Amino acid sequence: MDPLLLHPMEKNDMKQQASKFRSWYKTLVGRLGGILSQVSLERIVKGIEKGQLKEATDEIERSLQRSKNATLNVAVIGQSGSGKSSFINVLRGIGHEETGSASVGVVPTTTKKTPYPHPKCPHVTFWDLPGTGTPKSLPNPYQELVGDDKYDFFIIISSSRFSSNDALLAQEIQENGKKFYFVRTKVDSDLYNEKKSKPRSFKKETVLQQIRDNCLINLSRIVSEPTVFLVSNFEPKKFDFLKLQETVLQELPDEKRYTSVLLLPNLSESFIEMKRDIIKEKVWLQAFKAAILAFFPIMPLCCVFNLSEQEECLKLYQGHFGLDEDSVSQIAQELGTSEQEITSLMKSTDFNSLVEDDSTIANVKKFAEIIFSITGLPQSSVFQFYKVYFLHLKFIDTVAEDAKRVLAKIEEMK
């Protein structure tokens, strides 16, 4: 990310500045996509080209608001007893015995469609839909559900071979213009049973491929090039869970991606990097918008540096990366260690050292002097604006690295 994009735009060279915006924005966006839709990006670029800077900033603000307020409704559907409820708990990042978790049992527990909001974001809801074969299921339980515009996409679950009905369901979903994903649960149980029954000939990768092939037998007859994701409901990092999450994120509408990325569990360094990228993108867009508005006489650049507000921002970033106080306490409890041992890995707990970091102050002075020399804006206001901007980048990087160290510790102790 190049902060030089925040330099004032020369009025006689707006097309070049618009081209720079497009190029720099593309370097910001992670491999799964970013906050701006292609339509919004083109509107912003067009606004800059024509010198209509207020229109460009308005489009940035609309995109940021859409990403902030976006709702996501995920339908989880499949055969009775396939593990839908426990899979929903994994997606929500909560234990099967925690308050508010989806009911899990040895007998079918889902008899009607039940919403389960994400505990950290009520805008995101997972719907546990009744499986076929349950006593209270309708003769055709999916016909009405598939046509419900409420659901953004469907996850079709099975704990064994997918049936022809599953394939027909997917076909109907596709005809209604929705995405679907086939998920095969309880894979670890299959591996355990196979290893126990055939200890000498057992080969993990061979068995996994056999499970995939078995799942595709009925699907391939109806669905074109189906993909099946193998998962464990109790150890999400195993098998294809990470690949499933990445695939869903890549195919989501742009305005729904930001919140969905923030809710990713810290299961891998790649997930942590996804969060870092999209949070930085948001901060960059906010800063770019503020920098443009600074060139309007009635909207001077003014950013008062308030320590308590910045400390709250740091805590917000810690929450995004699963390092808030409650999360740290839960991690320590699960590992059977003290909270102090976890926080000792975190540099973001030292707020004062981050604020007083010399490299941050040096960057701030450099860019404040450039803006002041061109615009004549009060140097103190410019300095404070850049101090907040660079400090937030420092916060994000520090918390992301903390999350990686904590992840490594979790893997080591488990």
Residue-range definition of the domain harbouring residue 120: 71-252
Q: In the numeric block, which tokens belong to residue 264?
A: 């990713």
231 and 101 in a single domain? The answer is yes
Would 129 be classed as within a structural domain? yes
Would 258 be classed as within a structural domain? no
Q: In the numeric block, which tokens belong to residue 72?
A: 């996501």
Helix H, strand E, coil C: the string for 219-248 is HCCCCCCCCEEECCCCCCCCCCHHHHHHHH
279 and 300 in a single domain? The answer is yes
Query: What total of structural domains would you count in the chain?
Result: 3
166 and 222 in a single domain? The answer is yes
pTM over 0.95: no
CB atoms within 10 A of CB 23: 11
Contact between residue 372 and residue 366 where contact means Cβ atoms under 8 Å apart: no
Which of 232, 252, 272 terminates a domain? The answer is 252
pLDDT tens sequence for the chain (414 residues):
444 444 444 555 778 878 888 888 888 887 888 999 999 999 999 998 888 888 999 999 999 999 999 999 999 998 778 888 889 988 888 876 676 677 765 455 556 788 999 988 989 999 998 765 444 544 455 566 676 778 999 999 999 889 888 888 898 888 888 899 999 998 998 999 999 999 999 999 999 999 999 999 889 989 988 999 999 988 888 899 999 999 999 999 999 999 999 999 899 999 999 999 999 999 989 888 877 776 554 444 444 457 788 899 999 999 999 999 999 999 999 899 999 999 999 999 998 888 877 565 566 555 555 555 444 445 555 555 666 778 899 999 999 999 999 999 999 987
77 and 218 in a single domain? The answer is yes
Which of 186, 219, 252 terminates a domain? The answer is 252
Which of 23, 43, 66 terminates a domain? The answer is 66
Q: How far is it, in rounded angstroms, from Cα 28 to Cα 281?
A: 6
Report the chain's C-alpha Rg in angstroms. Answer: 25
276 and 132 in a single domain? The answer is no
56 and 15 in a single domain? The answer is yes
32 and 154 in a single domain? The answer is no
Q: How far is it, in rounded angstroms, from Cα 169 to Cα 172?
A: 5
91 and 202 in a single domain? The answer is yes
Would 257 be classed as within a structural domain? no
269 and 134 in a single domain? The answer is no
Q: How far is it, in rounded angstroms, from Cα 357 to Cα 281?
A: 22
